[in-house]
Amino acid sequence: MKLNLDTILYTSQFLPLKDCMSLATTCNQVYDSRKYMYRNHLVEITERNKEWVKRYKPKLIVKDIKYTTFENIHTLILDNIELTHWPEYITHLNQLKVLSLQNNKLTVLPDLISLLVNLQELYLNVNQLTVLPDSMGLLVNLQKLNLGFNYLTLLPNSVGHLVNLQVLNLDWNKLVQLPDSLGNLVNLQVLYLCRNQLTCLPDSVTQLVNLQTLDLRENQLTHLPNLISKFSKLHTIDLSDNHLTQMEGTALLSTSVILFKNNLNQI
């Protein structure tokens, strides 16, 4: 039996996929906070029944999903379920546009992640990733990528192929440097690099002409050259808690919010 679900949200509070097999194909979405599954029916949580839901918490849980007959799933959320390995069936969901695997225990990603060619949003924050496969560079339709709260020390050069990326979150990793290819992300608008171990930025960042927000808090930056002035659309930059001792006077004239608390000198 083939599923026709557009959205499946799967955490400890959602109906497991094995029970979705018995749902009518007209069922399009399963949400936690607003809807729940009861006897194979999608039920809206209302003022009338919310106390019953709160008391009995109807839920069914499965952690081993072996079905690969999904053809039209566009959004898959597998948050907070203690995944230690990438579920193999995901690579068969080539219509996926949004994939969330937040707050799990993943340490590696498969090379076959490149098969998710239609993916637009990928959320892998709060895992245990130390490296990324080069094949991630083939996800050229990605617009949002969240890799915050992992253990990454370097990014593959192939990240420069993600030319449609608009938001990139790399907060709370262990990055010591950024690849020159980062400058190829000409559509990037938001870049979060808080709480890493960066001492400098590559000159190629001057090519991020659409960048609007840059968060560099809690790194080890010692200087910020005039190259930042080339960010004509940059309106917010946070340089707090670095080791900055100098910064070109004209570097940040185009920004409206500049934060640089707790550096070595007042700039």
* Average pLDDT, rounded, for the chain: 75
Distances from the Cα of 183 to the Cαs of 29, 66, 255, in angstroms? 38, 40, 20
The alpha helices in 95-243, defined as continuous H runs, are none
- Out of 35-49, 186-200, 245-259, give the one with best mean pLDDT: 186-200
User: For the ranges 101-105, 108-112, 134-138, 257-261, which has the lowest average pLDDT?
Assistant: 257-261
> What is the spatial distance between Cα 243 and Cα 229, in angstroms, rounded to a whole number?
20
With a cut of 50, say whether residue 65 has pLDDT above it: no
pTM of the model: 0.74
Alpha carbon 171 to its chain centroid, in Å, reads 10
Q: How confident is the model at residue 64 (pLDDT cuts 50, 70, 90)?
A: very low
- Chain segment 5-50, per-residue pLDDT in tens: 334 433 333 444 434 433 322 223 333 333 444 433 334 445 554 5
> What is the spatial distance between Cα 134 and Cα 155, in angstroms, rounded to a whole number?
9
Report which of residues 235 and 11 the model is more confident about. 235
With a cut of 90, say whether residue 67 has pLDDT above it: no
